[in-house]
Amino acid sequence: MILPDLAGRIASLVVLALAVSAACNTVTQAVIFAPVRKWVRRRNAWLGEVISCPYCFSHWVAALAIAAYRPVLVHSGFHFLDLVVSWLALIALSAFGSGLIIRAFPIFEEPNG
């Protein structure tokens, strides 16, 4: 069942998606975090991949955002399932936002060499 204030819930999710995508792009793409990414890669190859991929990292940041803000888009009667749906929607929206940010701001590309 979709509740009447769906527009407000969607707006909240869009704001969270912008924050998630900005955080993910900053950590995974910005030159300032390159030493952190290299350090993590040396310690753990899997975690190094996660921290270098905006889409992969967004799953974890979105999970934190869902845990903190608990936005619910739909109400099925199963709160956990509703949060999972919101989490997946947040990941999709943040991936879209990350793509736009990366294309709009070439400063996220690391210099060659």
The runs of H, that is alpha helices, within 1-113 are 6-29, 34-43, 45-50, 54-69, 79-104
Would you give the DSSP letter of residue 73?
S
Q: Radius of gyration (Cα) for the chain, nearest Å?
A: 16
Phi, psi of 78, rounded to the nearest 5 degrees: -115, 95
Return the domain boundaries, the chain: 6-101
**Tell me, what's the pLDDT at 38?**
96
Q: What is the pLDDT of residue 109?
A: 54
Closest CA to 77 of 13, 12, 2: 2
Task: Please state the pTM of the whole predicted model.
Answer: 0.81
Residue 105 is given by DSSP the state: -
| Averaged pLDDT in 10-residue chunks for the chain of 113 residues | 71 92 91 95 95 93 95 90 95 88 66 46
Alpha carbon distance 104, 101 (integer Å): 5
| pLDDT for 112 | 47
Q: Long-range pairs for 1-7 at CB < 8 Å and ≥24 separation?
A: 1/74, 1/75, 1/76, 2/73, 2/74, 2/75, 3/75, 6/73
Cα 12 versus chain centre, distance? 14
